[in-house]
Chain A
Amino acid sequence: MVGTDLLKVEDLDVSIAGRMILRDVNFRIDHGEFTGLIGSNGAGKTTLLRVILGVQAAARGRVSVHGQTLTRSNSSVGYVPQKVVFEPDLPVRVRDFVALGLDGAKLGFARRSRQNLELVDEMLDAVEAAALANRRIGSLSGGEQQRVLIAHALVRKPELLLLDEPLASLDPGSAQEIIELLHSVVVHQQVAVLMSAHEMNPLLPVMDRVVYVANGGVASGTTDEVVRSDVLSALYGHHVDVLHVHGRVLVVAGESDHAKSMVADHPAVIVE
């Protein structure tokens, strides 16, 4: 197994209802890497994650984990969907929910072993949600819910964790906490993270690799390799400028002079 990538996506085409969503996608992810899947809304990020997860079929190409073609319900891949709405009255505690991450797909009855119960507690500790263990899952705030969903996905000890826009509905403070949490997961549990986001700036400090989705294709590599005017212009099919302002990155369509004068005129717009 030495030398094989954790995840390898080769020559992937994906179409839904006769419409081509992604074309000729190639990238790879190594063990214990933090990868950002960046692109605007509707670029096809969710579709790509669903293909990697094995719940959406590809028209062409191959997705492999450890060099083996991925099958559905591969326990080495964990998944946190974009938004889950839990009924407030659901009689399920956070603890029960995380435990279901372990055995929710298994048939029949069984008492959970002490070992598994300890694993659940360990995961809740890891996402700093131990205090929430006995709350109903429907009663959590957005940030709390995101932590619990991550614990639910991590409890099976996957090697790759996919997250679909985990920051989308969070306030900046909670978003920062989730990013730090995921970073520590990468560092301490040696789990590779692939998370989608439409804004790359919050991820810049922790990201090892970028997979940039636009115009039905992707560009991947380290941040410096991908987030460049020439690479992104080729991807978009028209001229794109990449500006660096106060340590942040801004991707602007159009001619560079115009964009630069915009920055000069409205610095506040750029900084957020």
Chain B
Amino acid sequence: MFSSFMTNAWISGTVIATLVGVVGFFVVMRASSFAAHAIPNGAFAGAAGANLVGVNPLFGLVVFALGAALGIGYSSRRTRSDVATALALVMMLALGAAFLATSNEYEPAINALLFGEILGVSSSEIVPVLVLALVCALGLGVLYRPLLMSSISSELAVAQGVNVSLIDVAFLVVLALSSALAVPVVGALLTFSLTIGPPAAARLLTSRPHRALACSVVLSLLTLWAAIASSYWSNLPIGFFVGTFSALVYLVARAWDVTRRRRLAHVVA
């Protein structure tokens, strides 16, 4: 499991899980799950398109994920954001389907894009992945406090002088980059599960923002590591484990939260 050809899987998995843990924390805070679901699908269309014209898949992933994110950001100002997101999503999926129909991509490659592949990041891609992850981390570090403030209440943030629409777009860009990195490993359909499950669990476990963020990263790492190991041993697709473990983490946290509340209610009564 820790043989040399798996080294890339562990490195890329760790980088991706850490990044997704932080990005997911804000996705859950801002209730932007739908965008977090739509953007990886944009990345999928990009990878399919990149194969068609023969450019680097990572390039296609990044460009299309950014396109989807900025499209959602732009049209959300004019129309309801859930409608804008739904339309961006179907447009990206339809483009992806059209690219696949015209290319000679063979099925396992498509399935890997959709459902993940632990060896999805090749050794030549490790460096670009690390650089992009670093850019995201830097962006999140700089935006941390206004992002937190505007996630709690955009009205209060505006009153405090935060440029909320700029923060919205900046966050969508970070979400797009982190999705583009995660899709080759976790899969276009399952990147979303990792983005929601562990952070949603983390915020039930603690009421402090910094701790919830740290907790989200730890749970996300545990989920992805466990998924890589399980996929390695069982030969089943990693996406299945990411999806199931993410949901499991949330359900356990939820059960813990419910029993804690009951106990508190008892004490008060």
Contact = CB atoms under 8 A, between A and B. Distances in A.
A74 B29 CA distance: 27
A100 B148 contact: yes
Nearest to A100: B149
Contacts of B203: 89-91
A56 B47 CA distance: 43
Interface in B161-214: 161-162, 202-204, 206-209, 211-212
Given A96-B209, A108-B142, A55 B148 contact: no
Interface in A67-88: 72-74, 79, 81, 84, 86-87
Given A84-B155, A137-B152, A100 B207 contact: no
B159 A79 contact: yes
B103 interface: no
Contacts of A90: 29, 152, 203
Given A84-B153, A89-B204, A137-B152, A105 B161 contact: yes
Contact of B161 (A73, A91, A93, A100): A73
Contacts of A107: 142-143, 145-146
Nearest to B144: A109
A103 B212 contact: no
Contact of B141 (A84, A97, A108): A108
Nearest to A153: B159
Contacts of A84: 153, 155-156
Contact of A105 (B153, B162, B207): B162
Interface in A146-200: 149, 152
Contacts, number: 83
Nearest to B162: A105
Given A81-B159, A93-B207, A104 B146 contact: yes
B157 interface: yes
Contact of B149 (A93, A105, A109, A137): A105
B160 interface: yes
A86 B144 CA distance: 19
B252 interface: no
B152 A86 contact: yes
B29 A55 contact: no
B126 interface: no
Contact of A106 (B141, B145, B202): B145
B141 to A, nearest CB: 6
Contact of B152 (A72, A97, A106, A134): A97
B160 A104 contact: yes
B207 A136 contact: yes
A104 B29 contact: no
A168 to B, nearest CB: 15
Contact of A93 (B145, B158, B208): B208
Nearest to B210: A96
A100 B143 CA distance: 13
A55 B165 CA distance: 13
A233 to B, nearest CB: 36
Given A89-B204, A100-B152, 20 more contacts: A55-B158, A73-B160, A84-B155, A84-B156, A86-B152, A90-B203, A91-B206, A91-B209, A91-B212, A92-B152, A92-B209, A100-B148, A103-B145, A104-B145, A104-B146, A104-B148, A104-B162, A105-B149, A109-B145, A149-B156
Interface of A: 53, 55, 72-74, 79, 81, 84, 86-87, 89-93, 96-97, 100-101, 103-109, 134-137, 149, 152
17 contacts: A73-B160, A81-B153, A84-B155, A86-B152, A86-B153, A89-B203, A91-B202, A91-B206, A91-B207, A92-B208, A93-B207, A96-B208, A100-B148, A105-B157, A105-B161, A107-B143, A108-B142
